[in-house]
C-alpha cells in the first residue's frame, strides 16, 4: 500500500512549479520509463500542483498507476537533464545547451546566443549568491527559474532523521512555502517539530 504522506511529499518534489519544470520534456519522461498515459498524467498533475491542489495531483498520479518508484525515476531523469544544462553553461557550449533543452519550455525562451549568454550570467550570479540580480535576468527572459530565492539551510538535527527522498521533498516544499507538505514529511518521519519551526505545529 502506498504511503499517503510520503507520496504527497515526493509528488511535491517532482511536480512543484518551482522545481524542475523548466527543464522537463516528454523525452525526459520517456527515459524515466513512463508510458504515454502516465506522461499525460504527470503534465496534468503538474498543473494541479501549480494550482495548489496537492490531493488532486496525487490522485491523478495514482489513477495512472504511477508509483513512488516511478516518481523517483522521473526525478533522476530530470536531474540528469539539469546536469546537462549546467555542464553546457559551465563549458559555454551553446550547441550542447540547445540539445539539452530541446522540447522543453526553455527551448521556446532561449532562442539565440544572446539569450544563452543572459541565462549564463544569471547562472553565475546565482552561484555567487546574488539571487535578486539573477531573478531580474530570469524575469527579463521570461523564465520562472527553479531554485531562485528561498533559503537553503535545513536544521541539522532534522536532516539526519530523514531519507534522501524526504530531504529532497522538504527542500522544495520549503522553497514553495508548502506547509502542508512540510508537515506530511515530518509526520512520515515521526518527527515532532518545535513550534518555532515552519510555523505552528498543528495545521488543522
Q: What is the pLDDT of residues 3-35, one digit of tens each?
A: 555 555 555 555 543 344 455 566 777 878 889
Which pLDDT score is estimated for 118?
94
Identify the CA nearest to 5 among candidates 191, 159, 164, 182.
182
| End-to-end Cα distance, the chain | 25
The Cα diameter of the chain in Å comes to 51
Mean model confidence pLDDT for the chain:
73
Q: Mean pLDDT lowest for which of 59-68, 115-124, 160-169?
A: 160-169
Residues 179-197 as b or e (16 or more Cβ within 10 Å = b): eebbbbbbbbbeeebeeee
101 vs 174, residue with greater confidence: 101
Which pLDDT score is estimated for 178?
66
Domain ranges (residues) in the chain: 1-81+150-204
Contact between residue 28 and residue 77 where contact means Cβ atoms under 8 Å apart: yes
For residue 117, pLDDT beyond 80: yes
195 grid coordinates: 513550534
49 grid coordinates: 500542483
* Confidence band, pLDDT 50/70/90 cuts, at residue 81: confident
Average pLDDT over residues 48-65: 81
Q: Give the residue carrying C-alpha cell 536532516.
A: 159
- Read off the pTM: 0.58
For residue 165, pLDDT beyond 80: no
For residue 115, pLDDT beyond 90: yes
172 vs 73, residue with greater confidence: 73
97 vs 167, residue with greater confidence: 97
Amino acid at each position: 500500500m502506498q504511503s499517503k504522506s510520503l507520496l504527497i511529499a515526493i509528488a511535491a518534489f517532482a511536480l512543484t512549479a518551482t522545481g524542475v519544470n523548466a527543464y522537463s520534456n516528454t523525452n525526459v519522461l520517456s527515459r524515466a520509463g513512463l508510458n504515454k498515459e502516465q506522461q499525460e498524467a504527470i503534465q496534468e498533475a503538474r498543473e494541479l500542483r501549480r494550482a495548489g491542489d496537492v490531493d488532486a495531483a496525487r490522485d491523478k498520479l495514482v489513477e495512472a498507476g504511477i508509483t513512488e518508484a516511478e516518481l523517483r525515476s522521473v526525478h533522476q531523469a530530470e536531474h540528469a537533464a539539469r546536469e546537462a544544462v549546467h555542464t553546457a553553461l559551465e563549458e559555454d557550449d551553446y550547441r550542447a545547451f540547445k540539445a539539452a533543452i530541446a522540447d522543453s519550455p526553455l527551448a521556446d525562451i532561449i532562442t539565440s546566443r544572446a539569450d544563452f549568454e543572459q541565462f549564463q550570467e544569471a547562472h553565475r550570479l546565482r552561484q555567487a549568491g546574488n539571487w535578486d540580480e539573477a531573478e531580474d535576468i530570469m524575469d527579463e527572459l521570461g523564465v520562472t527559474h527553479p531554485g531562485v530565492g528561498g533559503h537553503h539551510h535545513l536544521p541539522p538535527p532534522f536532516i539526519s532523521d530523514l531519507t534522501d527522498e524526504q530531504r529532497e521533498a522538504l527542500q522544495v516544499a520549503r522553497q514553495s512555502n508548502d506547509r502542508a507538505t512540510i508537515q506530511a514529511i515530518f509526520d512520515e518521519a515521526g518527527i515532532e517539530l518545535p513550534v518555532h519551526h515552519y510555523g505552528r505545529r498543528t495545521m488543522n
